[in-house]
Amino acid sequence: MKWLYHISRMIFGGWWLYSGTMPFIDPTWQPLGATEASQQFSIAMIDSGMMVAVKIAEILLGLAILANRFMPFAAVAVVPINFVILWWNFVLDQHSVSYVFGVLTIFFNAVIVWPWRKYYWRLFEFKGTPDYSLTP
């Protein structure tokens, strides 16, 4: 499992770093999709400025994943962006290449989250006790 984690981490982190960096190097690089819905969604993200924020997050998270640092955070911080990517791949831009990328992003994200699962169990406490102190 360790080798699968590190291979997935390198591919996934590199993929995020590449996807985040390329639009800053070549603004015409950003794929808009093959369907009208995916193109409208992508253009709205670009026109609203949200795409810049997403790309910066992709760069920072890709670097963290590649460096194997802040992994409990990085492994779950990619999930909301991944959800949008999955929606784009499975709902807005339906074709075989999009499905492959959608499945791969689920797979890689699951593989890099799994070894850090003990950090997340406390998030599922039904009734916790808040700590109002100013010290950690």
pLDDT digit string, tens, across residues 49-105? 999 999 999 999 999 999 999 999 999 999 999 999 999 999 999 888 889 999 999
pLDDT confidence of residue 30: 86
In the predicted model, is pLDDT for residue 27 greater than 90?
Answer: no
State what percent of residues in the chain have pLDDT above 70: 100
The letter for the amino acid at 117 is R
The Cα–Cα gap between 40 and 96 comes to 20
The Cα–Cα gap between 30 and 21 comes to 10
pLDDT confidence of residue 122: 87
| Residue partners of 80: CB distance under 8 A and separation at least 6 | none
In the predicted model, is pLDDT for residue 136 greater than 80?
Answer: no
Tokens of 8: 């997935």
pLDDT confidence of residue 110: 96
Tokens of 22: 């390329």
Rg, the chain, Cα only: 17
State what percent of residues in the chain have pLDDT above 90: 82
pLDDT confidence of residue 102: 92
Over the chain, what is the mean pLDDT? 94
pLDDT confidence of residue 31: 86
Name the DSSP letter for residue 123: G
